[in-house]
Amino acid sequence: MSKILVIEDEKNILELVSFNLEREGFQVISTMDGTSGLEMAREELPDLIILDVMLPGMNGLEVCRELHQDPAAGNIPVVILSARAEELDKVLGLEMGADDYIVKPFSPRELLARVKARLRRYSPGESPGEKNTPGKKLKIGQLEIDDDKYAVFYKGIRQDFTPIEFELLRFLAQNRGKVYTREQLLEQVWGYYYPGDSRTVDVHVRHIRQKLGSETGVTELIETVRGVGYRFKEDS
Ligand code: CA
């Protein structure tokens, strides 16, 4: 049974989220402020965290950033719960290392779809059977993607990838040379597509590029195909 930590200070939303998750058979633990949320995440190491942005004490973005730097809790998928439909919150959340976000008001159906997609995707060390894993290691030039370790090595050095960054890079690398639209990537990698999510792909692609050293002038492994989407460089 997956354990989910919900950090949300609005009582009715916390209850709504908890109710729907518990009804689906998830174990839910919760807290209403950011500081204790961070502590609980570190102590309980849940399978997923649902994190509100506006919180007393430490806000959700700070929690996310702290979490991301934690060696033990850093790999836990985080879904941001944003009160505003503002692009800023979404993007900031993704910048801080969140995997996905949900904008309030949301339907229980959307909540469960996103939670289940994240849990299904993230299963390091026990993932083989699932999807697209013909070889456990994928090597392309200086890049090595190791399914068993759920790790990315570039020029021999292990790079710190979030679960969704890992999935996105692996998917593109496994389908080298093929162009995907943002919508297709959301469906293939995130597991669903909701209108307005496309920006999510851009932010994660940018993070991957940074981690693969594109700021140092190295040729892009993930190419932008203008007006269409992204593809992994065909020959490298
Ligand atoms: Ca709040």
Residue 51 CA to residue 58 CA, distance in Å, equals: 12
Interstrand relation of 3-7 and 27-31 (parallel, antiparallel or unpaired): parallel
9 CA → ligand 1 middle, Å? 5
User: 19-37 pLDDT, tens per residue?
Assistant: 999 999 999 999 999 999 9
Q: Maximum CA pair distance of the chain?
A: 53
120 CA → ligand 1 middle, Å? 27
Task: Confirm if 137 and 145 have CB atoms less than 8 A apart.
Answer: yes
182 CA → ligand 1 middle, Å? 30
CA angle 8, 190, 110 (to 5 degrees): 45
pLDDT of amino acid 135 = 54
What type of residue is 22? E
**Could you tell me how many residues make up the chain?**
236
201 CA → ligand 1 middle, Å? 25
Residue 140 CA to residue 89 CA, distance in Å, equals: 35
204 CA → ligand 1 middle, Å? 25
Q: What residues of the chain score a pLDDT lower than 70?
A: 84-89, 121-135, 214-219, 236
Tell me the two tokens of residue 215. Answer: 């700021």
**What residue ranges define each of the domains in the chain, with the CATH number in brackets?**
3-119 (3.40.50.2300), 137-232 (1.10.10.10)
Residue 232 CA to residue 236 CA, distance in Å, equals: 10
125 CA → ligand 1 middle, Å? 35
Provide the whole-model pTM.
0.74
User: 161-209 pLDDT, tens per residue?
Assistant: 888 899 999 999 999 999 999 999 999 998 887 777 888 899 999 989 9
34 CA → ligand 1 middle, Å? 10
193 CA → ligand 1 middle, Å? 25
Return the bridge partners of 229, or none: 181, 225
Could you tell me the sign of the dihedral formed by the alpha carbons of 167, 171, 173, 179, in that order? negative
- First vs last C-alpha separation in the chain: 42
